[in-house]
Chains A and B, each alone.
Chain A
Amino acid sequence: EEEEYDDVLEFEFSDNPLLPCYNIQVSLSQGPRNWLLLTDVLRRLKVSARIFRSSFPHIENANISEAEFYRQASLSQLFTYPENFETRDIDNKETLELVEFTSKLQELLGSSVTYLYSDNEVEIYNELLKD
């Protein structure tokens, strides 16, 4: 089970360009979380959705309408639409499957993570350097 750190700054490192990550609230019972698009993950891992789900049942996923997804994603000032993407292409009926962005998924994608516990008042950092 993912150890329950309190507020730790996470730095993910990879030798491949990182998949885009989206800060989305998928239900009213939960605040915004970070998610990856399942299609991106499957393409990077080169596995089918069925195999991914059966191999990693405890990785949370969620469905969201494409319109709602882009409505939330585009609120970010850092967001840029994917290349050759037309907003009129957004189809209200279409749903997207998201995979929750966790240290397990980062590891799966070949990244290593350095955790930095930073106490902002005091300049000393307790380093939970767990690669």
Chain B
Amino acid sequence: FDHSKAHYYRYDEQVSLCLERHGSSLGKEKGKLVLQQKYVRCSVRAEIRHLRRVLCHRINVLDQQQVQILFDNEPLPEHMTMKQLWLLRWYGKPTPMILQYSVKEKRGR
């Protein structure tokens, strides 16, 4: 069969995540910086930096430095893949894997 595309991400095993907002969202930007669709699925090869990039797009945050992906309140290394994370922190637990994201307020100039 056509091996040339066999390595595509879309044919990878997928992983199911649940992205919860870390800490309570502050009054004024209550609804703005919260991910509406919090159940996420992607390839096991997706890395934290990919997820963060897409999350920033989804919650309309331009400056990626404001957003962090956490596990048990600990920031995750940029180049960690979903599979590494799952095996390290979620092995044997039921799907989805629960992650948090924090959005630092932009300090006014």
Q: A residues within 8 Å of B by Cβ?
A: 6-18, 20-21, 23, 28-34, 76-78, 80, 101, 111-112, 114, 116, 118, 125, 127, 129
Task: Check A11 against B13 for contact (C-beta < 8 Å).
Answer: no
Report the nearest B residue to A112, measured CB to CB: B37
Task: Check B37 against A111 for contact (C-beta < 8 Å).
Answer: yes
Interface size counted on chain B using CB atoms at 8 A: 40
Task: Check B8 against A11 for contact (C-beta < 8 Å).
Answer: no
A7-B8, A14-B39, A78-B13 known; 8 new pairs, CB 8 Å cut-off, are A13-B37, A15-B39, A18-B16, A18-B96, A31-B6, A78-B87, A80-B93, A116-B50
Stretch from B21-29, B40-48, B100-108 contacting the other chain: B40-48
In the assembled complex, the Cα of A98 lies from the Cα of B10 at a distance in Å of 17
Give the chain B neighbours of A16 by CB distance below 8 A. Answer: 39
In the assembled complex, the Cα of A15 lies from the Cα of B10 at a distance in Å of 21
Residue pairs across A and B with Cβ atoms less than 8 A apart, 24 shown, are A6-B8, A9-B9, A9-B46, A9-B50, A11-B46, A11-B50, A13-B58, A14-B40, A14-B41, A15-B38, A17-B18, A18-B16, A18-B39, A18-B41, A18-B96, A21-B41, A29-B1, A31-B3, A77-B86, A77-B87, A77-B91, A80-B94, A112-B37, A129-B57
Give the chain B neighbours of A20 by CB distance below 8 A. Answer: 16, 95
* A15 and B37 in contact, given A21-B14, A23-B14, A78-B86 (Cβ under 8 angstroms): yes
